Amino acid sequence: GVIYRDGVSGVRPTVPTAFPELERRAARVLSAKAYAYVAGSAGLESTADANRRALDRHHIVPRMLRDVSARDLSVELFGRRLASPLLLAPIGVLELVHPEADVAVARAAAAEGVPYILSTQASRPMEQCAAAMGDAPRWFQLYWSKSEELVASFLARAEAAGCEALVVTLDTTVLGWRARDLDLGSLPFSQGQGIAQYTSDPVFRRLAAERAGQPKTGPKPKVTPAAVRSLFSIARTHPGPMLRNLRSPLPRAAVETFLDIFSRQDLTWGDLARLRSMTRLPILLKGLQHADDARRALAAGVDGVIVSNHGGRQVDGATGSLDALPGIVEAVGGRVPVLFDSGVRGGADVFKALALGARAVCVGRPYCYGLALAGADGVRQVIQNLRAELDLTMALTGCASLADLTPDLLAPA
């Protein structure tokens, strides 16, 4: 309501309302490398296009003469009632986007009551974000490290920092083929950005110190191509920029240790039982696209799934994320919440995902661009716009609560 009134009363927002202009304006303020990192997707970026096409192929069919005078956008997730079905997706390396990085996002999320999923690749330690959030909801996203001890430490810290759920991202056993980053020679993490969760961790610091041979003096260990390859498949063909960039202001050992232990590629469904025993938090699996994987997730006893293809940043040529949603919703059969992300740019997109059975929706790039343009306030405006547009879309389609968002309100384009 307030946003709508502002818009017609001549007050110009500092952050553009529609996504295409938001992205254009952000592109102008971000460095070329930062913009490439945020906007880029894998390969020919056909999955990112497919994410949009999947949303665009569904049209909303409005219904009339239903009482929509009182609308309720609230939803319950893991015992908490949220004012809207929105979450901020985990985004790494936000120091490229804004000097306040994750802490600005944390403040915005808390002010809007929208859960913030803190990334393993964050630019600020989770404790700093938590301190900026009071008792507002936050979750922790895990990349499952080769060091189980580090995983255990991350989980203990997340619990102590008041995170209310654990999101395990499964689609990033290695980083995708990011053509824009490759062509700029700007491979993320390689200069020590996005590893604050690690460098603030006692287990990680011990591992890095051991690697550096501290407190001994002597020559620093060389960056081994094997360590680089273990994270970046792209380094097989582009080792040059990767190794050059490793002349980092941080102790090289920290970057090397991170590259070495970032992610396991040998995980299987059987490993989830061990994770289950390591935390009391609800566990969600992020990155599912196949209904059989959703069935396996249920069999493994997880508490939720996030249908996502990482915003098209991992597998080029993959299915549009929304196309994967109905099959997974059906497989899950209401037993645990199904969340959705990848390609959501406006309130109508949120509406479509909810109508197809998502309990809530995560957004990624839109809030990065709000952050780029106006810091925490920019993130708030992006959230407010999404919520207001969802609210208006519900009013105009005859929906008074989220339970009214059903598949029959959609038609194929």
Would you please indicate which residues are annotated as catalytic (active-site) residues?
310
Binding flag, residue 311, ligand FNR (CB under 6 A): yes
Determine which residue in the list 107, 252, 310, 380 makes contact with ligand FNR, applying CB under 6 A.
310
| Closest distance to ligand FNR from the beta carbon of 50 (Å) | 11
- Name which of 157 and 313 has its Cβ closer to ligand FNR: 313
CA distance 277 to 274: 5
Determine which residue in the list 123, 279, 289, 308 makes contact with ligand FNR, applying CB under 6 A.
308
Stretch that binds ligand FNR, among 83-91, 150-158, 228-236, 248-256 (CB under 6 A): 83-91
Binding flag, residue 302, ligand FNR (CB under 6 A): no
- Name which of 150 and 363 has its Cβ closer to ligand FNR: 363
Binding flag, residue 104, ligand FNR (CB under 6 A): no
Q: How many Cβ atoms sit within 10 Å of the Cβ of residue 77? A: 21
Beta bridge pairs of residue 283: 166
Query: Which amino acid is present at 10?
Result: G
Binding flag, residue 90, ligand FNR (CB under 6 A): yes
Interface mask (CB under 6 A) for ligand FNR, residues 218-257, using x and -? ----------------------------------------
Stretch that binds ligand FNR, among 87-95, 175-183, 221-229, 405-413 (CB under 6 A): 87-95
Binding flag, residue 38, ligand FNR (CB under 6 A): yes
Interface mask (CB under 6 A) for ligand FNR, residues 261-300, using x and -? -------------------------x--------------
| Closest distance to ligand FNR from the beta carbon of 400 (Å) | 27
List binders of ligand FNR among 122-161 (CB under 6 A).
141
| Closest distance to ligand FNR from the beta carbon of 185 (Å) | 18
Question: Which residue's CB comes closest to ligand FNR?
Answer: 364
| Closest distance to ligand FNR from the beta carbon of 145 (Å) | 13
- Which value, in Å, is the radius of gyration of the alpha carbons in the chain? 21
Stretch that binds ligand FNR, among 10-18, 57-65, 305-313, 402-410 (CB under 6 A): 305-313
C-beta separation of 378 from 371 below 8 A = yes
Stretch that binds ligand FNR, among 104-112, 229-237, 240-248, 358-366 (CB under 6 A): 358-366
List binders of ligand FNR among 365-404 (CB under 6 A).
365
- Name which of 212 and 328 has its Cβ closer to ligand FNR: 328
CA distance 205 to 88: 29
List binders of ligand FNR among 317-346 (CB under 6 A).
341-344
CA dihedral sign, ordered 147, 153, 156, 162? negative
CA distance 114 to 261: 31
| Closest distance to ligand FNR from the beta carbon of 313 (Å) | 6
- Name which of 116 and 404 has its Cβ closer to ligand FNR: 116
Binding flag, residue 363, ligand FNR (CB under 6 A): yes
Q: What angle do CA 155, 173, 171 make, to 5 degrees?
A: 85
Query: Which amino acid is present at 393?
Result: T
Residue count at the site for ligand FNR (CB under 6 A)?
Answer: 22
Chain residues binding ligand FNR by CB under 6 A are: 37-38, 89-92, 119, 121, 141, 169, 286, 308, 310-311, 313, 341-344, 363-365
